[in-house]
Amino acid sequence: MVNPKIAFKNKKVLITGGLGFIGSNLAIRLVKLGADVTLVDSLIPEYGGNLFNIDPVKDDVTINISDVRDPFSIAYLVKEKDFLFNLAGQTSHLDSMHHPDLDLQINASAQLSILEACRQYNPDIKIVFASTRQLYGKPKYLPVDEAHPLSPVDVNGINKLAGEQYHLLYSRVYGLHVCALRLTNTIGPRMRIKDARQTFVGVWVRRVLDGEPFEVWGGEQLRDFTYVSDCVDALLYSVASPQANGKIYNLGGVDVVSLSDLAKLIVKLNPDSEYLVKEFPVERKRIDIGDYYSSYQLIEEELGWKPKVNLHEAMLETFIFFKQSKKMYYD
């Protein structure tokens, strides 16, 4: 098994989407592990990048503001790096339906140029790609494992599938070291809470902080949640494990709960808060996937990863963080 205390010490690391939710939590961890960290982020306002996210390590990392759609910038940045954590992406399902070509440019086309840059300028770099459960679409069985058919229900899922497949292809055909992790709902400090573009939990948190009721659509849908520190562990293990090369792994969570149960947990942690149960808006309903939770058995068996932080602890830490710093996340 990978020992992160050794694997990343003095290593040169590039994180795309490095000012985003997961990227910034990863950057903070990598600095602690002694890595030489470069972050690339476009700071597009609708996405997850936020300079405050890396406040604890801002003097210990290199920040490069550019877009993964800029192949020249990326070609420069991948050179001489040991590891690439490829996390940049457009995450909003609804935005992908309204601006499908923009989603394609970021989630598919830019991925190709990142891989081309690695192939041409740094074929020994080790890459992990942040893929998504969205590729599976509406589950045909639960828990969803990696053999589940792929049938994305929105433009975002289709483009993320292409992006993931390019990664695996460049591993098979050109011998790049690549692993893809299919993330489920990731939550925790530094997530986008301004709106629901990253996760619906973000906008719930915001409403609680503002003393307003949050809206639960439906409520019976089952979901699993990975706390961000567990997600960071998985990224570290998979980028550095030789046996992860060319593989796809699901992540998952300690708990599987209904949205109503999550809402109740939030009210328990914030006794002044309240929520409203509403019908699904039509536009959301037609791209909703019903119940979903992942099997993470494969990554547990092969890399020894499993989620450690339960939902209660995850939400508690999330509220502690945002109560201290909410003004850095929205006006």
User: 3-class DSSP state for residue 108?
Assistant: helix
- Residue 67 interacts with its own copies (CB under 8 A): yes or no: no
Cβ atoms of 161 and 150 within 8 Å: the answer is: yes
Question: Does residue 74 belong to the site contacting its own copies (CB under 8 A)?
Answer: no
114 binds its own copies (CB under 8 A): no
- Applying CB under 8 A, which of residues 112, 142, 265, 316 lies at the interface with its own copies? 112
Binder among 6, 44, 65, 150 for its own copies (CB under 8 A): 150
Nearer to its own copies, 104 or 257 (CB): 104
- Closest contact distance (angstroms) between CB of 117 and its own copies is 12
Residues 190-209 that bind its own copies (CB under 8 A): none
Whole-number Å distance between alpha carbons of 17 and 5: 23
**152 forms part of the interface with its own copies (CB under 8 A):** yes
Question: Residues 92-111 vs its own copies: string with x where CB under 8 A?
Answer: -----x--xx--x---xx--
Residue from 125, 161, 179, 191 binding its own copies (CB under 8 A): 161
Q: Tell me, rounded to whole angstroms, the distance of Cα 72 from its chain centroid.
A: 25
Rounded Cα gap, residues 214 and 258, in angstroms:
16
- Binding status of residue 325 toward its own copies by CB under 8 A: no
**Shortest distance, CB of residue 284 to its own copies, whole angstroms?**
11
Residue 5 tokens, joined: 């205390």
Binding of its own copies by 155 (CB under 8 A): yes
Name the amino acid, one letter, at 2. V
| Partner residues linked to 178 by β-bridges | 127
Contact window for its own copies (CB under 8 A) among 43-51, 158-166, 220-228, 257-265: 158-166
**Closest CB to its own copies among 105 and 260?**
105
Size of the site for its own copies (CB under 8 A): 27
Report the nearest approach of its own copies to the CB of residue 145 (Å): 13
Q: How far is the CB of 292 from its own copies (least distance, A)?
A: 18
Considering only residues 5, 172, 268, 312, which one is a binding residue for its own copies as defined by CB under 8 A?
172
| Beta partners for residue 222, in sequence order | 258
Residue 20: partners with Cβ closer than 8 Å, 6 or more residues away: 41, 47, 48, 49, 50, 53, 87, 88
Q: If 0-12 CB within 10 Å is exposed, 13-18 middle and 19+ buried, where does residue 26 land?
A: buried
Q: Where are the alpha helices (DSSP H) in the chain?
A: 4-7, 21-32, 71-78, 93-98, 100-104, 110-121, 155-174, 200-209, 228-240, 259-269, 282-285, 297-303, 311-325
Tokens 């074929």 correspond to what residue?
A: 123
If binding is defined by CB under 8 A, does position 146 make contact with its own copies? no
Longest alpha-carbon distance in the chain: 56
Residue from 8, 136, 166, 319 touching its own copies (CB under 8 A): that is 166
- Which residues form the interface with its own copies (CB under 8 A)? 97, 100-101, 104, 108-109, 112-113, 116, 147, 149-150, 152-155, 158-159, 161-162, 165-166, 169, 172-173, 286-287
